[in-house]
Structures are given as C-alpha cells and as structure tokens.
Structure 1
Amino acid sequence: MAGSGSSEVRTTIFSSENYEFWKIKMVTIFKSYGLWNLVENGIPISYSKKKKKKKKKAYEEISEEEDDKKAAAILLKDAKALGIIQNAVSDQIFPQIANADSAKVAWELLYGEFHGGDHVR
C-alpha cells in the first residue's frame, strides 16, 4: 500500500539469468538506502573487527565510545545490505553466497560468477 511507511524491499529474485539487469536494479536499491558505497567498497578498515590504537588524550574514552557507535552503525548497515542481497537471490544461488560475511564479499562472489559469463542471457 502506497504511503504505508513500509521499509520492505521488493527485488527481482536472481536465478542466474539476466544478471546485468538484476545488478542495475540492485545498485539502485542500495543507492536509495545509502548502502551502495558500503557494498561497493566494503567496511572501512578503521571500523573492521580489529580495534585501532588510539593516542593517549583526555578525550580518549569519549572518542572510543563514539568510534564504537560509528562502527556498530556501519556493521548494521552492512548486515542490512547483505540481507538485501541474500533475499534477492534464488534458493539455487544462495549457497554460493551463504558464507559471505559482508555485503561486499557476497556482491563480488555474484559478480565473479555471473558478470559477462554464459549466464547473462
């Protein structure tokens, strides 16, 4: 229903045909949610699972808390993007990305398998 405020993403389910068309639609969806940069470039190194070393400053605790919040927000966005990808592939394609731990990894796996290959038509 239009205007219902639903955040449900409706995508074409990719089943190994018309990858290039599916990819265009997916990029548009990611851009509309502000997720494309994350899918394309991955999680910034400074927000990865490893803690970065900090200079000793008086504001270190506040800065670390802010960094933790930013990192959590980025990881949440990545999980959302990965979920969108997982829900936009068929059950036959899903095993190929099932072990991907980030949206970028899943996206690159699909790209490597289907971009420009025999599956395009």
Structure 2
Amino acid sequence: MSNMVGSGGGELRAPIFGGDNYEFWSIRMKTIFKSHGLWELVEKGMECSDSKGAGESEAKKKEKEKSSGAGKMTVTELLMKDTKALGLIQGVVSDEIFPRISHEETSKGAWDILMKEFHGDK
C-alpha cells in the first residue's frame, strides 16, 4: 500500500484540533479530504453514492452497483473510503476531543459532531 496517509514527503497535514480555531482547522481538513477524494462522503454521508436507493436491501444495492458500470462504487469500497476519512478525523483531534467522536462509525457523524460543537465558536 503505497497510498497510505503519512507516507511520502508531500502529504497534506492538518494540525491537531484541540478545540480552538475550528474554522481554520476545518478548512485545512476539507482540503485534505478533497485531495483524497473523500470530501463528498464526509459532507453528505454514505448515501451520496445513490440516495434514491435508500429503501432497498443491501443485496439489491450491490447488484445495482455492479451493473451500473465503473462510475459507482461498491458498498465495500464506499465503507473503506469512509473508514479512511474517519481515521483521518480521529488522527487529528486531541485526546480531550477524541471521546466526543469515539462512538461514531462514519466520517459524516464525527464531522457533524465537531461542526455542531465548535462551528462559530469565538
């Protein structure tokens, strides 16, 4: 895996978020997410791939994704991308902030908690 975070010299890095300067931190994080092709997933959640299929079973969704060509990601690929995004968030929050997002299983969930708590905080 040559594509892991932290490998290579030109990686974008966010400072550890400890509760201050949320606005600056979130702008840096958005840039990092975008550089990994993850921002849409963090912003909109797992349903961003196919919001029309919300009521379908997982098996049906998988079938549809397979038949719809290269444009769509499989559920597994989506979960892996979301896990990567969640890992990025977990890796750049301080030990004081981490417990607030430790139970979240999606990047959107963790991102939304931080945004609700710190957005607009002076």
Which bin holds the TM-score, normalised by the shorter protein? 0.7 to 0.9
Q: Percent identity?
A: 47
Question: Greater Rg, structure 1 or structure 2?
Answer: 1
2:75 pairs with 1:71: yes
Q: Which amino acid aligns with 1:72?
A: T
Q: Which residue of 1 aligns with 2:115?
A: 111
- Which stretches in structure 2 are left out of the alignment for 5+ residues? 68-72
Q: d(CA) in 1 for partners of 2:29 and 2:66?
A: 31
Q: Pick from 86, 89, 93: which aligns with 2:93?
A: 89
Note closer, same or farther for the CA distance 1:78–1:100 as it changes in structure 2 (3 Å cut).
Answer: same
- In structure 2, distance between residues paired with 1:98 and 1:79: 13
Q: In the alignment, does 2:25 pair up with 1:11? A: no
Instruction: Report SS of the residue matched to 1:16.
Output: coil
